[in-house]
Amino acid sequence: MRFAVFSSSGRRYLHPEALPAQGRTFLSSFTAIAKLSFDEPPLNQQFHFSDSLQRALQGKLLLLDELPFSIEVLHTHYLHGYIGLMKSIAKLHNGYVCQRCGNDEPHEFAAFSCARCGETCTYCRKCIMMGRASECQPLVFWRGHQSIPAIQKHRNPLRWEGDLSPEQAQAAHAVANAIEQRRRQLVWAVCGSGKTELLFPGLALAFQQGLRVCIATPRVDVALELEPRLRAVFPMLSIAALYGGSKQKSEESQLIVSTAHQLLRFRDAFDVMVIDEVDAFPYSFDPMLALAVERAAKKEAAVIFLTATPNEEMKRQVKTGVLPAVKIPVRYHRRPLPVPEFVWCGNWEKRLQKRKLPNVVNHWCLQRLNRNQPFLLFVPSVSTAEQVKSILGVPAAYADDPERKEKVEKFRRGEIPAIVTTTILERGVTIPRIDVAVLGAEHNIFTESALVQIAGRVGRSAEAPDGDVAFFHFGKTKAMAAARRHIMEMNEQA
Amino acid sequence: MRCRWCGQFYREALSWSEIFGVKEQDLLCGKCRQSLTFISGEICRVCGRMRELTDPSYFQKEICVDCLRWEEDENWRNEFFQNRSLYVYNEAMKQFMIRFKFRGDAAFADLIKFDWKRFWRKHDANELVVPIPLSEERLYERGFNQSLILAQMLTDDPADLLIRPHPIEKQSKKTRKERVNSGQQRFELKDEAAVKDKEIVLIDDIYTTGTTVRNAAKTLYQHGARRVRSLTLARAV
């Protein structure tokens, strides 16, 4: 779709090529929206907007192509200020920026000779799987008020009989307070301190007020584990889990558990945004996901950050008082966190090439296989996982593995004794009574936060609050030392 | 270096031909590159299907049963036709095609440029290069014609001679029977004079049943083309 700009009361508005000019004089030729500058028409309160368009677009940010409405309808709503049009690709003096995913890496853009705009059209390859954001493809959003039938005030939404520990209760109070006041709040809680439960009172308050809530998590596995738990305690609520390939598309639900990627299609949608594992790998490494989460929340939303391992920037904000924080240094069963043991295992890569595990690692694994003690063995890469799997004869689970879900389920039920895995299982996964080991703990993928998380898989249940954590390494790293210090400090504060 | 397809970082293992600039550096990581399979060994002499990957009962001598059916059909038997394809249309190629065509990632073409041009040098016979067109509606929807992009890598001036009327349904959503029998596959010509006595090579992305290229060939033969064949990027197994 090409647009031209016309002037009305001193402001510049867009006109699509497909509609008759109606005697307008244009200040530009018809071209890609990315090449024009324009203003937003003011909202006309008297205008009777289309309910179905409102339902399709409110709280969203979509490509024009994704909307099944005629250009006449869309343009009328645009002129009356009910929908906003924006460039999906913006050109700055030093390159392009994708307005949907925030990508600004030159090698993640490409151009082609476009049959729509008749020009060389630059597009974003980073978010291409969600449809092509290109110079002649506008992004569309709803500017009128929102009204979603599924979002209601619930008098008594929470069905939960559990108890909170004094530490949890204190954090829960802070969260409820932040939701009430629509502010930011960090919950700094050790792995296995029961972060999900401490959200319940705050969420209940939000649903009493008819607020819309999103819990954003970095991993599909975590979303899958969280959704049924929330369904059980908030039975009357409309809840949806969104992740790549999820069948549910009930995007109008009051509570959405979503991977960060899926939030790229939302805009100004949530009153409360809970960001789980805010330090986790994809979030801290990928500004795209940070942008998605920020944009999906309303301007005046409450934002709750949950983490066991805040990054330096967050710690700084806490210190200077910009970000209120509440700390839970102890697990709900009040037993100390298992402290990792460092074991030198020599050049393990060389051993693997000879199809052998280092002796210490082999011993550690066999011991546990013999006495039916379940364990997770973390390795730095998929290829290492494959090698170790064939040597040890236990299944491997990693990101591209189509049977990953089933394998983790089987492991949980005790049908398989152990899993070799990459860092994908480092977070959020709760399996009682396990030990964990890391092979190649010196690898740079194992950051302080990753190692703390890995150690945090152990001793999570009250019935089995202890367990072993071993870091097998070929040379100690700062990250390993920092992880152990982190855990010991938390234990001291407890 | 970052793979231009999957985005993973990978270590560059430069080959001698890359160092001496004979070959441009590969934009794909080893894993993605290896997921593409060349058609090799014995093939059907008509459609270029790879014998090794096909059930033995599908071949009679050097021709596959699908092509036999074409040859036995009185509507098609009298016309010469031949197809050759570069890659096997396997699961990996299917994923490449989904992103290339249906999501519109035109940059895919850069990733197979080297192989595709080498394939062309082997098969180039100085014919008129004619890309299979899209209908106007489909062209607008996608923003580009993948066959034109493939043809432009082979010659500076592909002959955009054919017109494809608006289809009711996408080819890729039909069964073989529906495809072969559909009357919608008729092509029209922009310039009849440009075809007479010409030897023509059609360019398309995927050869599945051959209906598309054979229908295009039929239109060209009806207007006096001397010989028509096709080159496609991938051939369904």
The per-residue pLDDT for B21 is: 66
* B104: nearest CB among A107, A113, A132: A132
The per-residue pLDDT for B31 is: 85
- The residue of chain A nearest to residue B145, with distances taken between CA atoms, is A115
Answer whether A128 sits within 8 Å of B149, measured CB to CB: no
- Phi/psi class of residue B148: alpha, beta or left (left: φ > 0; alpha: ψ in -120 to 50)? alpha
- Chain B partners of A116 at a C-beta cutoff of 8 Å? 140, 143
The per-residue pLDDT for B170 is: 65
Tell which wins on pLDDT, B167 or A227. Answer: A227
What dihedral do alpha carbons B93, B98, B103, B104 form, nearest 10°? 50
Quick check: ipTM above 0.90?
no
Please indicate if any CB of chain A lies within 8 Å of the CB of B145. yes
Token pair in block for residue A375: 């364990």
Answer whether A128 sits within 8 Å of B99, measured CB to CB: yes
The per-residue pLDDT for A293 is: 86
The per-residue pLDDT for A340 is: 95
Distances (CA, A) of A483 to A307, A447, A449, A452, A455: 15, 8, 7, 5, 9
Which residue type does A327 have?
K
Q: Which range, A68-77, A141-150, B61-70, has the best average confidence (pLDDT)? A: A68-77
- Is residue A280 predicted with pLDDT exceeding 70? no
- Is residue A424 predicted with pLDDT exceeding 90? no
Identify the burial level of A147 via C-beta atoms within 10 angstroms of its C-beta, where 0-12 means exposed, 13-18 middle and 19 or more buried.
Answer: exposed
The separation between CA A262 and the C-alpha centre of its own chain, rounded to angstroms, equals: 8
The per-residue pLDDT for B226 is: 94
Rounded CA separation A442/A477 (Å): 6
- Chain B partners of A112 at a C-beta cutoff of 8 Å? 106-107, 143-144, 149
For chain A, the average pLDDT equals 90
- Between chain A and chain B, the number of residue pairs with CB atoms below 8 A apart is 41
Answer whether A113 sits within 8 Å of B144, measured CB to CB: yes
The per-residue pLDDT for B56 is: 85
Cβ atoms of A67 and A56 within 8 Å: the answer is yes
The per-residue pLDDT for A25 is: 92
Please indicate if any CB of chain B lies within 8 Å of the CB of A115. yes
Strands A184-189 vs A109-113: parallel, antiparallel or unpaired = unpaired
The per-residue pLDDT for A285 is: 53
**How far apart are the CA of A416 and the nearest CA of chain B, in angstroms?**
29
Please indicate if any CB of chain A lies within 8 Å of the CB of B23. no
When scoring B9, B34, B103 by the number of chain A Cβ atoms within 10 A, the one with the most, hence best to mutate, is B103
From A26-35, A276-285, A439-448, B89-98, the region with the lowest mean pLDDT: A276-285
- Is residue A245 predicted with pLDDT exceeding 90? no
Please indicate if any CB of chain B lies within 8 Å of the CB of A35. no
The per-residue pLDDT for B172 is: 67
Q: Which range, A259-268, A282-291, B91-100, has the best average confidence (pLDDT)? A: B91-100
- The residue of chain B nearest to residue A112, with distances taken between CA atoms, is B106
* B107: nearest CB among A110, A116, A129: A110
- Is residue A286 predicted with pLDDT exceeding 70? no
Rounded CA separation A418/A420 (Å): 7
Please indicate if any CB of chain B lies within 8 Å of the CB of A128. yes
- Chain B partners of A114 at a C-beta cutoff of 8 Å? 143-144
From A28-32, A340-344, B176-180, the region with the lowest mean pLDDT: B176-180
Q: In degrees rounded to 5, what are phi and psi of residue B9? A: -75, 145
The per-residue pLDDT for B19 is: 66
Instruction: Calculate what percentage of chain A has a pLDDT beyond 70.
Output: 96
Token pair in block for residue B190: 């922009």
Answer whether B105 sits within 8 Å of A132, measured CB to CB: yes
Please, which contacts does A446-451 make with residues 24 or more away whose CB atoms are closer than 8 Å?
A446/A378, A446/A380, A446/A477, A446/A479, A446/A480, A447/A479, A448/A309, A448/A479, A448/A482, A448/A483, A448/A486, A449/A279, A449/A280, A449/A308, A449/A309, A449/A311, A450/A281, A450/A423, A450/A426, A451/A340, A451/A479, A451/A480, A451/A483
Residues B113-159: pLDDT tens digits? 999 999 999 999 999 999 999 999 999 999 999 999 999 999 999 99
The per-residue pLDDT for A312 is: 79
Please indicate if any CB of chain A lies within 8 Å of the CB of B4. yes
Answer whether A116 sits within 8 Å of B145, measured CB to CB: no
Helix (H, G, I), strand (E, B) or coil at A295: helix
Residues A384-417: pLDDT tens digits? 998 999 999 889 888 777 787 788 888 888 888 9
Helix (H, G, I), strand (E, B) or coil at B115: helix
Of the pLDDT bands very low, low, confident and very high (cuts 50, 70, 90), residue B54 is: confident
Rounded CA separation A421/A124 (Å): 32
**Best CA proximity match to B131, nearest among B115, B152, B106:** B152
Structural Rg of chain A based on CA atoms: 26
Rounded CA separation A268/A143 (Å): 10
CB within 8 Å of A354: residues ≥ 6 apart: none
Q: What is the mean pLDDT of residues A452-475?
A: 88
Residues B153-191: pLDDT tens digits? 999 999 999 999 876 666 666 676 666 555 556 899 998
